[in-house]
């Protein structure tokens, strides 16, 4: 109880509350604009938070992180374009509901499901805290190394169909983390005799390039789309009542969100996919999924909103980020000399609980804000692509230049922006590079420390947690290798042509042309936004 009051004391400051309000409202607005996403917003705002108190900066970023998925549901439901990458499944059932004139019902369901997912995961986090406080100190160097390795393995295996490229990009991230002076013998690595490379490649510069600048370039080279928001009926409050009729779907989906959020490298997309699949299996009307099923909408929105709070668990307890957004937050911790890991739970529990409470408050704030401002937020979806690109380019300058007023940093960010653009054009993932950079650094430090106490290879896994992590890694690598071997298709032969022709024949037989057009748009948008903001 003392910790709870101490945490309230941490939060009870005008600047913290302001940061929470600005972060949550800003996050919703950012989420509602397709093509921006929380990664771009957090990347741009990161340097601005360096001059703030750790709790203020983190609360603002947490606000954006936790609330953007609420906002992302708006364009996903109304115009079939996910606001953030993790709202992709929301389009499956949300947009068909909009076509039926039930847009407001779908939005209301999405808000209530998101709210349930958010609150459920924060409560899990609070209940798990005592356990975490006990377990976290049991993680020594070798356990943290193995957990980081597990994160890399999972981020690779999570990219089904692109695992080789994901592994290569993770390795590229690890290589980037080694550039510059190494910290033990102070020898130079891959500096090519360039003094500006001696201090290494800054994570935030890379993140800004890969997420913000590449997105700006992508938008600047896109055509503007004419967006038509259909009329809809219904109350924005009815979703809360409807949610109560599906407690099993909501509970299972939120649990998937929490579980997947806790595992490094997995994240929202897998959580959403697993909860959607299980909801369909358990449903009495599985055929409605993908055609405006309320259960499908609840499953996807509950799961993705349960992830942010859960993703804080490996970050706070072990100092291991689970995905790109928590990797960015890790740098804010380091800038303020707050080192996430077992020590944080032992010595700064009030700070940890304050972050949990901030997450709890932000969910309430966001739902209240959405209920009164959905009409205005819908207009944000109509900002033209290229104009939005100009805005992101301008904001990216602020983000990069304010780190250390270096034109070289801006040039590096521009190069990574162009690289990110190519990756996005090819629909290749960006997250493995960022996680490779962060986890590569952790793995190097922890493995070096662990090897000092290891005489035989068996010593490395002679502790229970290390052994479990090692076995998990072996199982995941083994099962993935087996599955890949069994179902292999050459990388450039995964064309949609065959599947598309089958669907084409099915659709034109006795269907209306209008329906056909709509489905075409659905496919096009899905493909365009596959990795967007991820």
**299 contacts other proteins (rule: CB under 8 A):** no
- Provide CB contacts within 8 A for 102, sequence distance 6+: 232, 233, 234, 292
Cα gap 364→10, rounded to integer Å? 19
CB of 4 to other proteins, least distance (A): 31
Token match 């609330």: residue? 67
In order, the DSSP letters of 102-152 are -HHHHHHHHHHHHHHHHHHHHHHHHHHHHHHHHHGGG--HHHHHHHHHHHH
Indicate the helix (H) or strand (E) that contains 327. helix 324-335
Grouping H, G, I as helix, E, B as strand and the rest as coil, residue 179 is coil
Q: Are the beta carbons of 64 and 41 closer than 8 angstroms?
A: yes
**473 contacts other proteins (rule: CB under 8 A):** no
Q: Are the beta carbons of 82 and 92 closer than 8 angstroms?
A: no
Cα gap 422→78, rounded to integer Å? 29
Residues that bind other proteins (rule: CB under 8 A) add up to a total of 96
Length of the chain (residues): 534
Cα gap 361→66, rounded to integer Å? 11
The residue from 155, 307, 352, 410 that contacts other proteins (CB under 8 A) is: 410
Q: Which of residues 2 and 193 has its CB atom nearest to other proteins in the complex?
A: 193
**426 contacts other proteins (rule: CB under 8 A):** yes
Cα gap 434→173, rounded to integer Å? 6
Q: Which of residues 316 and 423 has its CB atom nearest to other proteins in the complex?
A: 423
CB of 257 to other proteins, least distance (A): 16
**Region from 32-40, 73-81, 87-95, 239-247 binding other proteins, contact rule CB under 8 A:** 87-95
**447 contacts other proteins (rule: CB under 8 A):** yes
**51 contacts other proteins (rule: CB under 8 A):** yes
The residue from 128, 393, 472, 473 that contacts other proteins (CB under 8 A) is: 393
**491 contacts other proteins (rule: CB under 8 A):** yes
CB of 460 to other proteins, least distance (A): 11
The site string for other proteins over 314-343 (x = CB under 8 A, - otherwise) reads ------------------------------
The residue from 402, 472, 518, 521 that contacts other proteins (CB under 8 A) is: 402
Q: Are the beta carbons of 432 and 173 closer than 8 angstroms?
A: yes
The residue from 428, 430, 435, 466 that contacts other proteins (CB under 8 A) is: 428
CA-nearest of 248, 259, 305, 281 to 112 is 305
- The first and second tokens of residue 326, run together, are 């928590």
CB of 202 to other proteins, least distance (A): 15
Question: Which parts of 170-189 interact with other proteins (CB under 8 A)?
Answer: 170-172, 174-175, 177-178, 182, 184-185, 187-189
**256 contacts other proteins (rule: CB under 8 A):** no
Helices (H), 33-102: 37-49, 54-78, 90-99
**What single-letter DSSP state applies at residue 473?**
H
In order, the DSSP letters of 371-383 are HHHHHHHHHHTTS
Q: Which of residues 3 and 163 has its CB atom nearest to other proteins in the complex?
A: 163
**432 contacts other proteins (rule: CB under 8 A):** no
The residue from 369, 429, 434, 533 that contacts other proteins (CB under 8 A) is: 429
**41 contacts other proteins (rule: CB under 8 A):** no
The residue from 7, 30, 210, 443 that contacts other proteins (CB under 8 A) is: 443
**470 contacts other proteins (rule: CB under 8 A):** no
**151 contacts other proteins (rule: CB under 8 A):** no
The residue from 254, 280, 294, 359 that contacts other proteins (CB under 8 A) is: 280
- The first and second tokens of residue 79, run together, are 């115009």
**216 contacts other proteins (rule: CB under 8 A):** yes
Indicate the helix (H) or strand (E) that contains 181. strand 180-181
**387 contacts other proteins (rule: CB under 8 A):** yes
**Torsion angle, alpha carbons of 287, 290, 295, 300, to 10:** 140
**Region from 6-14, 215-223, 356-364, 470-478 binding other proteins, contact rule CB under 8 A:** 215-223
**Region from 226-234, 312-320, 436-444, 465-473 binding other proteins, contact rule CB under 8 A:** 436-444
């Amino acid at each position: 109880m003392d910790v709870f009051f101490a945490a309230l004391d941490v939060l009870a400051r005008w600047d913290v509350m302001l940061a929470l309000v600005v972060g949550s409202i800003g996050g919703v607005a950012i989420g509602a604009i397709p093509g921006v996403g929380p990664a771009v917003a957090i990347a741009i705002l990161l340097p601005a938070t360096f001059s703030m108190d750790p709790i203020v900066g983190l609360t603002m970023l947490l606000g954006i992180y936790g609330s953007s998925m609420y906002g992302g549901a708006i364009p996903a439901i109304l115009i079939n374009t996910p606001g953030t990458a993790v709202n992709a499944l929301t389009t499956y059932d949300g947009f068909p509901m909009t076509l039926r004139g039930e847009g407001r019902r779908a939005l209301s369901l999405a808000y209530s499901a998101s709210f349930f997912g958010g609150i459920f995961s924060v409560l899990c986090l609070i209940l798990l805290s005592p356990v975490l406080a006990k377990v976290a100190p049991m993680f020594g160097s070798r356990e943290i190394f193995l957990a980081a390795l597990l994160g890399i393995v999972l981020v690779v295996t999570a990219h089904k169909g692109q695992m080789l490229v994901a592994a290569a990009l993770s390795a590229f991230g690890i290589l980037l983390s080694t550039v510059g002076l190494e910290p033990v013998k102070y020898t130079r690595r891959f500096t090519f005799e360039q003094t500006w490379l001696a201090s290494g490649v800054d994570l935030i510069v890379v993140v800004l390039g890969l997420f913000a600048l590449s997105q700006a370039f992508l938008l600047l080279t896109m055509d503007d789309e004419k967006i038509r928001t259909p009329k809809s009926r219904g109350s924005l409050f009815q979703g809360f009542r409807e949610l109560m009729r599906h407690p099993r779907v909501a509970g299972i989906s939120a649990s998937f969100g929490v579980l997947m959020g806790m595992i490094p490298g997995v994240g929202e997309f897998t959580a959403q996919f697993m909860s959607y699949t299980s909801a369909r299996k358990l449903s009495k009307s599985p055929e409605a999924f993908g055609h405006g099923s309320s259960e499908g909408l609840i499953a996807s929105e509950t799961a993705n909103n349960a992830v942010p709070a859960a993703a804080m668990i490996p970050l706070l307890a072990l100092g291991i980020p689970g995905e790109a957004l928590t990797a960015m937050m890790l740098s804010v911790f380091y800038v303020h000399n707050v080192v996430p890991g077992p020590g944080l739970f032992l010595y700064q529990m009030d700070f940890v609980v304050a972050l949990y409470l901030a997450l709890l408050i932000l969910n309430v704030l966001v739902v209240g804000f959405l209920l009164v401002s959905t009409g205005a937020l819908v207009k944000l979806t109509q900002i033209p692509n290229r104009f939005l690109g100009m805005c992101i380019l301008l904001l990216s300058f602020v983000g990069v230049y304010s780190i250390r007023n270096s034109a070289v940093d801006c040039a590096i960010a521009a190069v990574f922006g162009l690289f990110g653009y190519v990756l996005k054009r090819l629909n290749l993932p960006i997250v493995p590079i960022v996680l490779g950079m962060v986890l590569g650094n952790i793995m190097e430090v922890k493995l070096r420390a662990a090897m000092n106490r290891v005489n035989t290879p068996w010593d490395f896994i002679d502790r229970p947690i290390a052994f479990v992590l090692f076995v998990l890694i072996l199982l995941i690598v083994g099962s993935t290798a087996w599955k890949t071997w069994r179902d292999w298709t050459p990388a450039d032969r995964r064309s949609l042509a065959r599947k598309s022709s089958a669907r084409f024949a099915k659709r034109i037989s006795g269907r209306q042309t209008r329906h056909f057009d709509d489905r075409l748009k659905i496919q096009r948008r899905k493909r365009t936004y596959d990795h967007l903001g991820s």
